[in-house]
């Protein structure tokens, strides 16, 4: 895991948000950074390479494929996680509250 992924994992693991997240979980042809299977939520933490045009295209296809499998994908940058972790966790919590299981 990257440093940003470690920081986020420490905030969402062990049902800290009321649901179980798995890290590096396979879904279809992909490995999600974090996944809540019960609420069909995937959280991706993207580093700088995800700003490259080719990677952006790959990420779009990946998101569409995961959505076809019934998952909602939320993406955060490494920078967001490292500099605004409470806001990131709040956005996840809001999603979980507004899209209850």
Task: Give the confidence band of 58 by pLDDT, cuts at 50, 70, 90.
Answer: confident
Task: Give the confidence band of 50 by pLDDT, cuts at 50, 70, 90.
Answer: low
The pLDDT of 16-20, averaged and rounded, is 95
Give the whole-angstrom CA distance, residue 11 versus residue 101: 20
Of 27, 29, 51, 55, nearest in space to 41 by CA: 27
Tell me what the pLDDT averaged over the chain comes to. 91
Task: Give the confidence band of 4 by pLDDT, cuts at 50, 70, 90.
Answer: very high
Classify 32 as helix, strand or coil. Answer: strand
DSSP 28: T
* pLDDT score recorded for residue 51: 64
Classify 92 as helix, strand or coil. Answer: helix
* pLDDT score recorded for residue 101: 46
The pLDDT of 57-69, averaged and rounded, is 93
């Amino acid at each position: 895991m990257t440093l940003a992924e470690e920081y986020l994992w420490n905030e969402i693991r062990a049902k800290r948000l009321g649901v179980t997240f798995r890290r590096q979980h396979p879904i279809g042809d992909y490995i999600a950074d974090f996944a809540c299977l019960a609420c069909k939520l995937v959280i991706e933490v993207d580093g700088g390479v995800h700003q490259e045009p080719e990677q952006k295209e790959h990420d779009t296809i990946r998101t569409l494929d995961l959505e076809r499998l019934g998952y909602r994908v939320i993406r955060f940058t490494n920078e967001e996680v490292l500099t605004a972790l409470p806001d990131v966790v709040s956005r996840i919590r809001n999603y979980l509250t507004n899209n209850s299981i």
